[in-house]
Amino acid sequence: MQEEAEGATIQERGYGFHISSWDSLEQSIIQNPALLQVDWEAISQSSPGLVSNAAVKLALWELYVELKNGYQESPPFSMSEDVNVIYREMIEAMPRKMKKGAVLKEKYMPVFYDVINPSLGFRRKLASLESVSMLTAEEKKIVFDRWHQLISTHVDEKSRLYFQILLKRKVYFKGTLLAVGDGSGSSGLLGEKESGEAGAVINTGTGKGIGLFTYRTKKNKSSVVPDYRSEIDLELAPDEPMLLHLTLWGMDWDKHPLVVVETGEKSYLLFGAPEFSPDHNRVEGTSYYDRIEDYKQRKVDRVIGELNKQGGLLDIYKKEERMRDVIQTQIDSINLEVDSLRELEESNELAIQNRLFKNSVHLGNLSDKERRLKDLQSKIKAVYSELNSAEDEVKRMYAALGDHPQSWTEKDSVYIFEDGSFYHFKTQDLFLLADQEMDNRVRVKLLAATYSIYSDSKDEVQLYVNITGGVSEYLKEYEKKMKPVSDPDTIVCKSYYFDPNAYRASVFFTVEESRAIAELGKRVLGNEKQVRFILVAHGVDSLSQSIGMDGRGTYDVKKNLASYRKSRRVDIQIVECDKEFVVRISGFADRGRTSLLGLPKDVKSRLVGLMNVEQSWNPALSALRVLSVVREIEKLTGLSLRTEKIVCLPMGKCLPVEVF
């Protein structure tokens, strides 16, 4: 199989790539059975979120295998009671036209087998179902909604059983599956070869398990389509902290779906990459924010620009209106002349007829202008109608983020939200602390990312989400990380805030802090201790991703000066450890576009690699803010920091201080 796999390529979506191995986990177990040894004690002490992750994957894998095996059984799907229930329920859900009484007609069995095939994507299933003529959209929707509901219920029940077995104790547990996309298939699953497939070219329409994606469907004319968003409400156990764990399945590396967790009016935003993080800047790729921004620019900003530009519809309308007014004035003037001529005792009939002829020409021109203006009014009205619809859609897209998205701070991969709840990146667990004001339900929304910000296609992704209780003992482990650093070893722990585009300050440190930093320098120069610098330029701070921010990132100076002040900052932390001092400086910028006009040209040319279309010069601006603090520390300590390096996260680059 290994030799065959190395020559295999996938040909789909205009590109091909080589697959190095197929079903590597399964093959590893076959070759090394010792991998199946289980450390039950370690599992029982693990995060309930990680245990639930293992439980749901086991439930999905088992269901997939049993469904695939069911085709070979006689009678079909008879060996597993659970799968037999799904089989019978799905026959009941099939349209009446396809059945004779309660039995499916023989000629429609291939269609039925396609619908319940765990390897076929939504579109393949739908195409097979639509080969049956005269089915209504409602009948099709009933079939798929029932399939998705049965899968979700089965996985919830099985994963709960496996969870209790693995954790060795009973705790509150509730899980479910959500899927979004356009039903075309997921390249995130295409590397998983189906059992029995052969040949160098792999059939990309049968990614393993793609048929188990539980979409929320909606009717579209005479057919049905998956929604690009899905949501579910889960109940919380009362009066105890809860853990919400998230797992993505089938995601492409560069397409980031968004999960919104809502409790009451509060919401927590988590970006999949595929690991979830509250920080959308953590990795590059297309996210829900990118989709909002792109949609707003294409459907709102660009339309307004085209409407108002020189030569645009509004400009043409005004010109036509002025020309109409000129013609009307000419007509009125000639009418006055005719009236005056007729009042004369010896009127000149030839002169009158000449003027009346001119007026008939002007009246024809006036009629043409009126028709032209009416046509322009109709076009402008249509544009404004589309514009209003687009603006309403932008509002709906923002509304999906919740009423009050929670801001956060991060320390050691733990993201602490403003209400005290926190997200542990390494275990992918969101801890919701007990709160009297918290709703006893949590709503989880899954929003798809696009293949491209210029396309309305969505990447296929399935989310497993579960809520567990019994996490009090795990909270103790994280309490230290939730508290701000204020122990005796901390020399400096502060943030400094900048005005828009600024990166310098007269001083960053108080007199007392300056003395402590100077003492640090003496001890390092005296070889008493070493010093380690962690310098990070984050670019645009995710906290500035606000509904109120201009989508193009331009400045309303008075508004941005106050509203986004916390996003224009450096976080400074200097700590004395046993063998070294650790200096951590993190720089941030808000989302307003900047051109760094005041920066010397030679310096700017060296920093051109820290500029991109999405963030303009903000990555460089955040790096310059870090640099300004480094310069002051350099003066206070007497140390040479030229070779220290600033990591620019948005660009994935690392530049020494001397470059600046």
Same domain, 391 and 407: no
Q: Residue 189 has which token pair?
A: 């699953």
- CA 65, CA 72: separation in Å to the nearest integer? 12
The boundaries of the domain holding residue 203 are 42-297+403-478
Q: Is 92 among the domain residues? A: yes
Low-confidence ranges of the chain (pLDDT < 50): 1-22, 187-191, 197-205, 451-454, 481-482, 484-488, 543-562
**Same-domain pairing of 70 and 178:** yes
DSSP of 176-193 = EEEEES-SS--TTTTTSP
Distance, in Å, from the CA atom of 592 to the CA atom of 610, rounded to the nearest integer, reads 16
Do 371 and 492 belong to one domain?
no
Domain-terminating residue out of 401, 417, 444: 401
Are 328 and 201 part of one and the same domain?
no
Is the CB of residue 574 less than 8 Å from the CB of residue 581? Answer: yes
Does residue 33 sit within a domain?
A: no
Residue 23: partners with Cβ closer than 8 Å, 6 or more residues away: 1, 192, 193, 195
401 burial level (CB within 10 Å; 0-12, 13-18, 19+): buried
DSSP string, 438-449: S-SEEEEEEEPP
Asked if the structure places residue 396 within a domain, the reply is yes
Same domain, 236 and 337: no
Please check whether residue 228 lies inside any domain of the structure. yes
Same domain assignment for residues 617 and 602: yes
| 437 and 584, same domain (yes or no) | no
Q: Are residues 149 and 248 in the same domain?
A: yes
Domain-embedded: residue 207: yes
- How far is it, in rounded angstroms, from Cα 70 to Cα 57? 20
Domain presence at residue 31: no
Query: Domains in the chain: how many in total?
Result: 3
In a domain? residue 8: no
Largest CA distance in the chain: 124
Nearest by Cα to 121 from 190, 70, 175, 58: 190
Assess whether 392 and 409 both reside in one domain: no
Distance CA 584, CA 579 (A): 16
In the block, residue with structure tokens 């600033």: 646
Q: What is the DSSP string of 581-631?
A: EEEEEEEEE-SS----TTS-HHHHHHTGGG-BTTTBTHHHHHHHHHHHHHH
Identify whether the C-beta of residue 42 lies closer than 8 Å to the C-beta of residue 48: no
pLDDT digits (tens, 9 = 90+) for 434-452: 665 556 788 898 887 654 4
Residue 215, classed as helix, strand or coil, is strand
Residue 2 domain-assigned?
no
**Quick one: pLDDT at residue 602?**
76
Of 401, 418, 453, the last residue of a domain is 401
Rounded to whole angstroms, the Cα distance separating 72 from 205 reads 21
One domain for residues 260 and 375: no
Give Cα separations from 410 to 11, 242, 475, 508, 620 (angstroms): 42, 20, 17, 22, 22
- Are the C-beta atoms of 121 and 115 separated by less than 8 Å? no
74 Cβ neighbours under 8 A, 6+ residues apart: none
Domain boundary residue among 352, 374, 401?
A: 401
- Residue 252 to residue 207: CA distance in whole angstroms: 13
Whether residue 506 is found in the same domain as residue 566: yes
**Do residue 313 and residue 442 come from a single domain?**
no
